[in-house]
Amino acid sequence: MLRKLGRLFVIKTRFEAYAIIYALALGATARGSQYLLEYPGFGGKLLFLATTGAVFLGGAKILDAIRYEREAKRSEGADTSA
């Protein structure tokens, strides 16, 4: 039962990854806009860029992880059939 529940939290496809990255980006821009209000000027802009930059880095890592998992499954299947 817990295994089935745990599978809900595994990113399996690129579509799911893009949906998660989109949600992260929405949250980051909302937080970044709050930073612009709290810290007017250059500091707020830097914090806004930091929040959106973190989404770029995290999104790239998520997409790379999906690609590596897919390649590992392919190579595992090729090794067992040889």
**Total of domains in the chain:** 1
Q: Which domain holds residue 29?
A: 23-69
Whole-number pLDDT of residue 42: 95
Q: What is the mean pLDDT of the chain?
A: 90
Q: Tokens for 16?
A: 């799911």
Specify if 82 maps to a domain: no
> For the whole model, what pTM was predicted?
0.79
Specify if 76 maps to a domain: no
Number of neighbouring beta carbons within 10 Å of residue 64: 10
Q: How far apart are CA 22 and CA 16, in angstroms?
A: 10
Specify if 59 maps to a domain: yes
Q: What is the pLDDT of residues 71-82, one digit of tens each?
A: 888 888 777 655
